[in-house]
Amino acid sequence: MHKSSMLSSGVHREPSSEPLAWIEAMGSDDMKGGSPQQPRDRRSPSPQHEDRRLLLYVDDDESNREVLKLRLRTRFDIILAANDRQAVQALAMHGEKFHALLLDIQLQGSKLDGVRLSKLIRGKLPDEEVPSYARHSRVFTTPIIFVTAYGSRYTQQEIIAAGGDMMVTKPVNFVALCTALARYHLKKADLTSNIPPKKG
């Protein structure tokens, strides 16, 4: 089934669990499919917005990328990637700055789908499966949120094993997504505040 038809075919309902949060999709017009194209805007965050949190969104569908950017741009700076190679480049340039990584699972046209890209980011992908352009990729613990129309194809255990922290089904409930991102921000802030000061 074509990706665009999946995005408008209805809501996938998945059981909730403690280690992995599942956000049910709401609002059929939030994300619609289209033909995969290169992202229009992959620029670095503007200096005047250095206090804003930075997200990486990887999706082969340009419409999905533009909709998410439109819906979240008032709260976040967003770097868009159309495939795994662009995602690897973005992580090499801005890795530690990312607040969260939003990954489409299917990623048509990429050597790595979203699950295998997540394994790469977590350092779990077998060496023989790592593309040449990702040989020197670093390992990151940044929260990974899968954004997909195919949530029912994957078990919670598979997503956790791949290094994912959360599953969001398309069409996206952006209120719930922003709430989840805020929760990660507060958790990170709490962990940072508990780090003992260095002795002089």
Q: Which domains does the chain have, with CATH numbers?
A: 3-9+20-193 (3.40.50.2300)
Tell me, what DSSP letter sits at residue 9? Answer: S
d(CA 184, CA 55): 12
Q: Say yes or no to pLDDT of 98 above 60.
A: yes
pLDDT per position as a tens digit, 84-94 = 999 999 999 99
pLDDT per position as a tens digit, 66-76 = 999 999 999 99
The 3-state DSSP class for residue 75 equals: coil
pLDDT per position as a tens digit, 117-135 = 999 999 999 999 999 999 9
d(CA 137, CA 123): 9
Handedness of CA 124, 3, 64, 145 (dihedral sign): negative
Question: Would you state the pLDDT for residue 151?
Answer: 77
Determine what percent of the chain is predicted with pLDDT higher than 90. Answer: 53
- The C-alpha angle 52, 184, 160, rounded to 5 degrees, equals 130
Q: Say yes or no to pLDDT of 178 above 60.
A: yes
Which carries the bigger pLDDT value, residue 110 or residue 1? Answer: 110
